[in-house]
């Protein structure tokens, strides 16, 4: 019986071998070189229904365009808050993933402002 020699294989080459990529640079994929992009770690499960879990890393873009339905990182009385942004009758509202919380009106005068839009999510395996 002879041993396996990789240089003397027979048969067809795998058609999938053409699809193999090189290493993936997450900094490039997530465009983290832009000065307006920041990684932010999530604590809590408020948005688990949207696939955001405790410990996930959100990619926040401070130059992102506001749009109803987007997740944003806001500042409410100086405290960071992950919320869904909604437009209603010309006003912006922050909606918590927790159904028992009341919507918060975005109003810089009341110290409620949007800091960044969430553009991506990264999850590490424990």
Q: Does residue 106 sit within a domain?
A: yes
Q: Does residue 93 sit within a domain?
A: yes
What CATH number should be reported for the domain holding residue 79? 2.10.109.10
Confidence band (pLDDT; 50, 70, 90) for 13?
low
Confidence band (pLDDT; 50, 70, 90) for 12?
low
- 120 three-state secondary structure: strand
Domain range for 99: 28-122
Give exposure, 60-90, as e/b (b: 16+ Cβ within 10 Å).
bbeebeeeeebbbbbeeeeeebbbbbbeeee
Q: Does residue 11 sit within a domain?
A: no
Q: Does residue 65 sit within a domain?
A: yes
Close Cβ partners of 32 (under 8 Å, ≥ 6 residues apart): 26, 39, 59
Q: How many CB atoms lie within 10 A of CB 4?
A: 6
Output the average pLDDT for the chain: 86
Q: Does residue 77 sit within a domain?
A: yes
Are 116 and 38 contacting, i.e. CB atoms less than 8 angstroms apart?
A: yes
Lowest mean pLDDT across 22-26, 41-45, 80-84: 22-26
pTM over 0.85: no
Confidence band (pLDDT; 50, 70, 90) for 18?
low
Q: Does residue 108 sit within a domain?
A: yes
Confidence band (pLDDT; 50, 70, 90) for 115?
very high
Q: Does residue 14 sit within a domain?
A: no
How many domains does the chain divide into?
1
Q: pLDDT value at position 16?
A: 62
Lowest mean pLDDT across 28-37, 42-51, 64-73, 86-95: 28-37
Q: pLDDT value at position 98?
A: 82
Q: Does residue 6 sit within a domain?
A: no
């Amino acid at each position: 019986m002879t041993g396996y020699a990789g240089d003397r294989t027979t048969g067809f080459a795998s058609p999938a071998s053409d699809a193999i990529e090189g290493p993936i640079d997450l900094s490039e994929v997530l465009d983290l070189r832009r000065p307006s992009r920041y990684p932010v770690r999530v604590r809590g499960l408020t948005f688990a229904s949207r696939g955001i879990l405790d410990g996930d890393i959100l990619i926040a873009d401070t130059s992102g365009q506001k749009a109803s339905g987007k997740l944003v990182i806001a500042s409410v009385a100086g405290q960071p808050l992950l919320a869904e942004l909604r437009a209603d009758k010309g006003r912006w509202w922050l909606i918590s993933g927790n159904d028992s919380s009341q919507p918060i009106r975005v109003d810089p005068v009341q110290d409620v402002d949007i800091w960044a839009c969430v553009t991506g999510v990264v999850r590490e395996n424990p």
